[in-house]
Amino acid sequence: MHLYLLGYPLGHSLSPAIHNAAFREAGLDWRYELLPVPPEALPQAVERVRAADCLGGNVTIPHKEAIIPLLDALTPAAQAIGAVNTLFKRDGLLWGDNTDAEGFWLDVERVFGDLPAGEALLLGAGGAARAVAYALARRGWRVTVAARRLEQAEALCRSLVVSRQSSVISRQGSVVSGQPSVVSGQWSANSGQRSTVNGHPSPFALHPSPFPNPQSLVPNPQSLILIVNCTPVGMHPHTEASPWPAEIPFPAGARVYDLVYNPAETRLMQQARAAGLPAANGLGMLRAQAALAFRRWTADGGG
């Protein structure tokens, strides 16, 4: 039986080594393979996953959001996040799940310990950022999204409804609560001010390009606990690149988590450690989300 990783490009991926080792350990005659899929070929790739000799697989950049209309059903996590990283089959249906969110949080706890909910800054607003924002906001964190494309950050915050107690900012400046009702809110994209829901601050704020100084990101920069790079900037072969401009200082006391894991020490991690901050790459998250995906594939005999 086959499982595939759908993405483009895929030269950096360690997923086949991780999953094939797990299959051998479990005595399963399964094979996990890379399936490079340019955007225009995604529908055909999904049909390949639907074949009887395929159990499912994973989805990575740039398909985590684009694949959703091509699937039969979504788990609650994938639906709430608006991004899919795991494919599995149940009762003849092709499902999309998201194990990135839980995998991220499990590794953050492993690396940095039991962090109190506080201020977090996300760099990027793609599918990985959606999962990270979901993991943080549902645990009571206040999340600031800094993205190159403001409309993408707006879409993330508008669509990510994480619970009845949390809220997301809509493109029109309204705030959509976890309940169906819509209440008015105040929000300025340029200032990064947070909106309000019934007098309470939203967990999300947005910042447009160019990348701003951390002093403008949160009311008290020294309260920033976690900085997460959710972009591919710095990934092999572009190892000298960093999403954090060299001239901008890091807030003291922050932790830096880079979802990039190849190279093992990214330029962003080097910058953070030079500033005296703890830093980690995303390999632990990859392993944690892979273990969660493995459970999906093996539940009920894998199909």
Residue 29 has pLDDT above 60, yes or no: yes
pLDDT at 209: 44
Under a CB-based contact definition with an 8 Å cutoff, are residues 2 and 54 in contact? yes
Q: Which of 158-167, 232-241, 285-294 has the lowest mean pLDDT?
A: 158-167
Q: Which CATH architecture group holds 101-284?
A: 3-Layer(aba) Sandwich (3.40)
In terms of pLDDT, which residue wins out, 62 or 218?
62
Which token pair is 239? 């190892």
> Who's near 237: CB < 8 A, 6+ residues apart?
none
**Length, in residues, of the chain:** 303
Terminal CA-CA length for the chain? 11
Per-residue model confidence as pLDDT tens digits over 127-138:
899 999 999 988
What CA–CA distance (Å, rounded) separates 150 from 161? Answer: 19
Is the fold of 2-98 the same as that of 101-284? yes
Indicate the SS3 state at residue 105: helix
64 is annotated as an active-site residue: yes
Q: Which of 71-80, 207-216, 260-269 has the lowest mean pLDDT?
A: 207-216
Write out the H or E segment, with its range, that includes residue 78: helix 76-81
Other CB atoms within 10 Å distance of the CB of residue 170: 18
Indicate the SS3 state at residue 248: coil
Owner of token pair 């209309």: 69
* Domain range annotation of the chain: 2-98, 101-284
What CA–CA distance (Å, rounded) separates 182 from 33? Answer: 45
Catalytic residue, from 19, 64, 158, 287: name it.
64
Under a CB-based contact definition with an 8 Å cutoff, are residues 296 and 56 in contact? yes
Which token pair is 32? 């996990």
Question: Model confidence at 219, in pLDDT bands (50, 70, 90)?
Answer: low
In angstroms, how far apart are the furthest CA atoms of the chain? 56
Residue 56 has pLDDT above 50, yes or no: yes
Which option is the CATH number for 2-98: 3.40.630.30, 3.20.20.70, 3.40.50.150, 3.40.50.10860? 3.40.50.10860
